[in-house]
Amino acid sequence: MTAAGEGIGPDGAPPARAAPEVAIEVENLCKSFSGRRVVDNLSMRVMRGQIYGFLGPNGSGKTTTIRMLCGLLTPDSGRGTCLGMDILTQARRIREHVGYMTQRFSLYQDLSVRENLEFVARVYGVPEPETAAAAALQRLGLEGRGKQLAGALSGGWKQRLALGACILPGPDLLLLDEPTAGVDPKARREFWAQIHDLAAEGLTVLVSTHYMDEAERCHEIAYIAYGKLLAQGTVASVIAAAGLATVVVEVAGEAGHEAGLHITRLARELSALDGVDMVAPFGTALHVSGRDPAALEAALARFRGDPRLVIRADAPTLEDVFIDLMSRSKDELR
Ligand SMILES: Nc1ncnc2c1ncn2[C@@H]1O[C@H](COP(=O)(O)OP(=O)(O)OP(=O)(O)O)[C@@H](O)[C@H]1O
């Protein structure tokens, strides 16, 4: 399969305007189901060769957005291009150049790994399907598993096979919807090494995930909640833009149940204070964050003299920032 074509498409529409280095550019996308808006004025831009992470709570509209980008769903309003083609008028052409890995493993469980890949190659009209499947097996480190039934693979290998099937037809863009959900850390790490190799070859990858470590592996991320895009950029810029101050409060000299009780009591006490917007326990420590550093400091002042506590400033984590963004948008909707 060739790269996104130039000129007039088979559907007669002229190619939409977009800089060649831009893979996805959409503006004000909206989508409602049964009168409920699940994607709300969403605008985003993804550059070619980029790994772009899509994060947000369950039901925030990530899958719906992904389906609009690749022409499987038509937005109610808004405009945009994917691989230089118009998402409203050139959906069929877009689909020819996109590999979409859905949340559910959808290959044939009772065919072998090799048979699944050969089948995909034939369906997509890949020349010499057997050779293409063998090359995909090798590329994904699946050679030793060619004869194994897909249904008998572990979660990590299944995902790797699904990725192999996605890239067989030679797409220019990969849309991966929570590809590593429920997969163990080693397999996730290997999967991400593959994603980075593919991006290095020029493929653009948009990947949705709930894992913070995966977000940090992306070139850029977007955070979406209640259908709205709340933050976008590199991980460092998203953290900086949140303007959150974070302090770690650790219980010293206590262990086990006693430390747990102390942390729980402390978390309740701190959460109730003005200036404290968020408290999250991490073992025998609490991450305490606030949007106003001076107010946060004032709230913590009376704890500073407690000899059982170690209090130190720390950088907010991406998770701190996302939870804060979500609670802010919830407050705004009230
Ligand atoms: N075809 C549909 N008909 C009606 N409602 C839908 C449809 N597709 C999605 N929804 C609803 O739209 C909302 C957004 O769903 P979507 O799957 O886009 O969220 P998501 O961010 O991908 O969630 P998750 O992280 O759980 O996969 C949800 O409330 C979902 O129930």
How confident is the model over 21-25, as a mean pLDDT?
95
Which residue's CA is the nearest one to ligand 1's atom 30? 59
Using the mean position of ligand 1's atoms as its centre, give its distance from the Cα of residue 280 in Å.
28
Question: Out of 171-185, 270-284, 316-330, which region has the weakest mean confidence (pLDDT)?
Answer: 316-330
C-beta atoms surrounding 3 within 10 Å: 13
Using the mean position of ligand 1's atoms as its centre, give its distance from the Cα of residue 322 in Å.
19
What share of the chain in percent tops pLDDT 90? 72
How high is the pLDDT of residue 20? 66
Beta bridge partners of 224: 229
Q: How far is CA 89 from CA 27, 68, 85, 214, 307, in A?
A: 15, 12, 8, 33, 67
- Three-class SS of residue 60? coil
How confident is the model over 213-240, as a mean pLDDT?
95
- Determine the atom of ligand 1 nearest the C-alpha atom of 210: 25
Is residue 81 over pLDDT 60? yes
DSSP letter string, 212-280: HHHHTTSSEEEEEETTEEEEEE-HHHHHHHHT-EEEEEEE-S--HHHHHHHHHHHHHHHHTSTT--EEE
Longest dimension (CA), the chain: 75
Q: Is 209 in the pocket of ligand 1 (CB under 6 A)?
A: no
Nearest to 227 by CA among 102, 41, 81: 41
Q: Is 38 in the pocket of ligand 1 (CB under 6 A)?
A: yes
- Residue 219 · residue 52 · CB < 8 Å: yes
How high is the pLDDT of residue 332? 63
How high is the pLDDT of residue 139? 84
Ligand 1, from 32, 34, 37, 38: best to mutate by most atoms within 8 Å of Cβ? 38
147 phi/psi in degrees, rounded to 5: -90, -10
> pLDDT category, 260, cuts 50, 70, 90?
confident
Domain parsing of the chain, residue ranges: 22-239, 245-315
Phi-psi region of 317 (alpha: psi -120 to 50; beta: other; left: phi over 0): beta
Domain 245-315 has CATH 3.40.50.300: no
> pLDDT category, 167, cuts 50, 70, 90?
very high
Is residue 221 over pLDDT 70? yes
Which residue's CA is the nearest one to ligand 1's atom 2? 33
Nearest to 76 by CA among 102, 101, 42: 42
Which residue's CA is the nearest one to ligand 1's atom 23? 59
- Would you identify the CATH topology of the domain 22-239? Rossmann fold (3.40.50)
121 phi/psi in degrees, rounded to 5: -60, -40
Using the mean position of ligand 1's atoms as its centre, give its distance from the Cα of residue 31 in Å.
11
Is residue 14 over pLDDT 70? no
Contacts of 63 (CB under 8 A, 6+ apart): 103, 177, 208
Is residue 15 over pLDDT 50? no
- Residue whose pair of structure tokens reads 């859905």 in the numeric block: 102
Between CA 156 and CA 317 the distance in angstroms is 27
- Residue whose pair of structure tokens reads 């797409």 in the numeric block: 171
> pLDDT category, 5, cuts 50, 70, 90?
very low
Which residue's CA is the nearest one to ligand 1's atom 7? 33
How confident is the model over 45-53, as a mean pLDDT?
96
Q: Is 62 in the pocket of ligand 1 (CB under 6 A)?
A: yes
Question: Out of 1-5, 59-63, 74-78, 131-135, which region has the weakest mean confidence (pLDDT)?
Answer: 1-5
Question: Model ipTM?
Answer: 0.96
Q: What is the pTM of this model?
A: 0.87
Beta bridge partners of 312: 248
Average pLDDT, the chain: 88
How high is the pLDDT of residue 19? 54
